[in-house]
Amino acid sequence: MTPLVSTGKRIPDYLNAAYGLKSWLFTTDHKRIALLYMASVTMFFFLGGLMAVLIRLELVTPQGDLVEPDVYNRLFTMHGIIMVFFFLIPAIPATLGNFLIPIMIGAKDLAFPRINLGSWYVYNAGGLFTMYSILNGGVDTGWTFYTPFSTTFSNTYVLATGLGIFITGFSSIMTGLNFLVTIHRMRAPGLTWFRLPLFVWAHYATSIIMLLGTPVLAITVLLVALERSFHIGVFDPAYGGDPILFQHLFWFYSHPAVYIMVLPAMGVISELITCFARKRVFGYRFIAYSSVAIAVLGFLVWGHHMFTTGQSIYASTIFSVLSMLVAVPSAIKVFNWTATLYRGSISWDTPMLYALGFIGLFTIGGLTGVMLATLGIDIHVHDTYFVVAHFHYIMVGGTIMGYLGGIHFWWPKITGRMYPAFWSKFAAITIFIGFNLTFFPQFILGYMGMPRRYHAYPDEWQVLNVMSSAGASILGVGYLIPMIYLAWSMRYGPRAEANPWGAVGLEWEIQSPPTAHNFETEPVVDKEAYAYTAEQGYVPPTKEAEFV
Amino acid sequence: MANHDHDTPHITGLGTYFAVFGALMVLTAATVFVAFQDLGMMNNVVALGIATLKAVLVLWFFMHLGHATTFTRVAMASTLFFFFLLLAFLFGDTLTRDLLDVPGRVIEL
Ligand SMILES: [Cu+2]
C-alpha cells in the first residue's frame, strides 16, 4: 500500500517500469492493456464520429444532395457497426474495468493476464477486417444485418464485416471470462461481496451478459455467412428459411448488448455520485442486485424490436410486459443515486457534471424506452427517428457520459497528472448542450413520422434537422476539447496526488500512477464501500437510508 | 479447474478417456446412419438426441464436469437455462404466429 520500500527509494510506477514499444505490445499488466484498449477505442470512436458528421451534413437539406443514396446507406451502417461493436461495447469494460477491477479488489492483476493481452489483439484483428471492408466500400445492410437483404440482395462486403464482428466478439468473451474469474477468486482478505464497490458489481453483471450473449451473436453471424455463401436455407424464405428467425437470434444478443454498454457506465456513476456527494450510497444492495437483475431480465425482452414484423401477437404481448419490467431495476438505480445526493455535501468537479448529466439523459432514454415497449405506440414510431433519439440517449447520453465521467475521475490515477478544471468543465457542459440539441429534435421528428435511414425528407422537417445537425457540431467540438487537454495533461499536467478527490476506495490508497503490481503489501479490507467519514463531509444517513 | 481447490487433484484414468472417445465415435456413426433413414417427424428429434448425448459425454468427462464443484456445475446449468430461454421465447413466437385469425391471411398448416 505504501509507495515506499525500506530503502526509501520510490518504486517506479507502471508507466516507467519498462520502456519501448515492445514493453507495451507484449505487456501483461492490466493497466497497460487498459491504455492499449483506450487508444484503440478512441481511434474507432473518431472514425465512427466522422461517419456521423457526414450523415448530419447530408441531412441539413431535405434533398439528398451531398452523397449518393447508396453511399448514405453505407455511412449509417458503418457508423452503427463501428460505434456499437468497436467502441460502445469495449469502451468502459476494456479500459476502466481493465484498469480498476484488480485494484478495486486488492489484486495484482486479472486472473488471466495473457488472455487479457490476447483479447486486445483479437479485438484489433476484428477491427482490421472491418477496416478492410470500409476501405473497399463498406456494407449497406444497417448494423443489424437483417435478412434476407444481408443474405441475398446486398452486394457489399457483408462477409468481411461479419467476420470482423465474429472475431471481435471473442475479445468480449475473453474479457468477460477474465472479470468473472477475477472477481470470484482474487478478492483481498475481508473484501466480501457486499463490500465490493458497485463498479465491480456492474462489471460482474456485464461479464455474465458477455459470456451468455456473445456466442449467440457469433453463431448468428456465421449463419448469415453460410446462408449468403451456400444458401443453407435457415433465414432465406426462398430456401425454406425464416427471415424473422434471424431477428430473434440477432436481438437475443443485441438487446442485452445495450446493457453491456450501459451497466459499466452505471457502475461508474455509483462511484462518482458517492464521492462528490461525500455520502455512503443509498441502498447498496438494491443497486448491486439491480445490476444482476438487469443482466438476467435483459435476455427476455428482445422481441420488442420485432413488434412490426410477423411476430406472433402473443409473443409481442409478453415481450412488451417484460420490457416494461426491465425498466424497474434501472429506475431503482436512478432513485438510489438521487437519494444519495439528498443531503449530501455536493461538489461540482468535472466527473460530477458528467454523472449528473448521465442521470438526466439516461432517465429520458429509459422512459422513452418504456414508451417504445408499448405495443400501440411502437407501431406508430417503429423505425422512425423517435427510436434513433431513444437509443442515442441511452448509448451516447448514458454510456459516453459515463465513460467520460470515469475517464475524468480516474485520469489522475491512470496518468498521475491533473487536467485543467476550467476546460474540462467547459467541455462537459458543451457536450451536454450539444447532445440535447442533436437528439431532442429527433424525438419530435420521429413522432411526426420521419423514418430512420433515409437520406432525403420533406421540406417541413428541415428546421428540426438543421437544429440536430447544429447540435452535432457543438457535440463534436465538445468531444475534441478533452482530446486536446488530456493529451496536454499527459505531458504537462500538474502531478496528481494519490487521492486528489478525497475519495474512498482501494485504488485511492495506492500511489498515482500505481506501481506495476498495484500493492506492495496485500491490503486487508475491514469496511464497507463508500465509508465516507465526518471529516470528509460525511452526512449521516437519513432514517430511510438505514433499512438496507 | 475447480479441482485446484484441493491439494490432490482428481486424475481420470487414460482408459476412461479412450472409452469416451470410443463412445463418441460410435455415436457419430449412429448420426450418419440415421441421416439416411427416414423417420418422419422423428428425424430431428433423433439427430438432436444423439448430438445432445455426445455433448453431455464431452462436458462430463473431457471437460471434467463430473468432478467439478457445485458452483461450476451451476454455472454450466445456468448457460443451458439461458439457451432454453432462447428456444422457449423463440418457439413462443413461431408456434403461435398463426393462432390469431387475421382477415385476408391464408393459414397453412
Ligand atoms: Cu432492445
Q: Please give, one letter per residue, the 3-state secondary structure of A115-173.
A: HHHHHHHHHHHHHHHHHHHHHCCCCCCCCCCCCCHHHHHCCCCHHHHHHHHHHHHHHHH
What pLDDT is attached to residue A6?
Answer: 45
**Per-residue pLDDT averaged across A126-130, rounded?**
94
Chains A, B: CB pairs < 8 Å: 46
For residue A191, being part of any structural domain is answered with: yes
Nearest residue on chain B to A212, alpha-carbon basis: B79
* B85/A242 CB distance under 8 A: no
Candidate from A67-76, A374-383, A536-545, B45-54 with smallest mean pLDDT: A536-545
CATH code for the domain in which residue A370 is found: 1.20.210.10
Within a domain: A59: yes
pLDDT tens per residue across span A410-453: 999 999 999 999 999 999 999 999 999 999 999 999 999 999 99
Instruction: Give A449-507 pLDDT, tens digit per residue.
Output: 999 999 999 999 999 999 999 999 999 999 999 999 999 999 999 999 999 999 999 99
Chain B positions with Cβ closer than 8 Å to A: 79, 82, 85-86, 89-90, 92-97, 99-100
Domain extent for A297? 25-536
Answer yes or no: do A245 and B89 touch at CB < 8 A.
Answer: no
* pLDDT for the residue numbered A4: 43
Whether the CB-CB separation of A427 and A478 falls below 8 Å is answered with yes
Burial (Cβ within 10 Å: 0-12, 13-18, ≥19) of residue A27: buried
| Cα separations in angstroms, A149 against A130, A177, A184, A246, A382 | 19, 34, 44, 11, 19
**Residues B69-90: pLDDT tens digits?**
888 888 888 889 999 999 999 9
Quick one: A411 exposed, middle or buried, by C-beta within 10 A (0-12, 13-18, 19+)? buried
ipTM of the complex: 0.84
Q: Are A437 and A468 in contact (CB under 8 A)?
A: yes
A531 belongs to a structural domain = yes
User: Which among A494, A501, A499, A496 has a CA at the least distance from the CA of A510?
Assistant: A499
In a domain, A1, yes or no: no
* Chain A residues within an 8 Å CB radius of B92: 312, 314-315, 318
8 Å CB contact of B94 and A242? yes
For residues A245-268, average pLDDT: 96
Q: How confident is the model at residue B11 (pLDDT cuts 50, 70, 90)?
A: confident
CB A382 within 8 A of CB A478: no
* Cβ-defined contact of A311 to B93 (cutoff 8 Å): yes
* Nearest residue to A360 (alpha-carbon basis) of A277, A429, A261: A429
As a whole number, the mean pLDDT across chain A is 93
Distance (Å, whole) CA B60 – CA A298: 30
**Nine cell digits for residue B78:** 445456468
Dihedral sign (CA A236, A241, A247, A252):
negative
Q: Is residue A12 part of a domain?
A: no
Work out the burial of residue A446: count CB atoms within 10 Å of its CB; fewer than 13 is exposed, 13-18 middle, 19 or more buried. Answer: buried
A16 belongs to a structural domain: no
Nearest to A248 among B79, B90, B95 (CB): B90
Q: Are A176 and A112 in contact (CB under 8 A)?
A: no
Q: Which amino acid is located at A351 in the chain?
A: P
pTM of the entire predicted model: 0.91
**Digit-coded pLDDT (tens) for B54-63:** 999 999 999 8
Q: What would the grid cell of residue A47 be?
A: 472514425
At A373 the pLDDT is 96
Give me the percent of chain A exceeding a pLDDT of 90. Answer: 87
Percent of chain B with pLDDT over 70: 82
Q: Is residue A187 part of a domain?
A: yes
Structural domain total, chain A: 1
Would you say residue A6 lies in a domain?
no
Grid coordinates given for A515: 506501481
Q: How far is ligand 1, taken at its centre, from the CA of residue A456, in Å?
A: 27
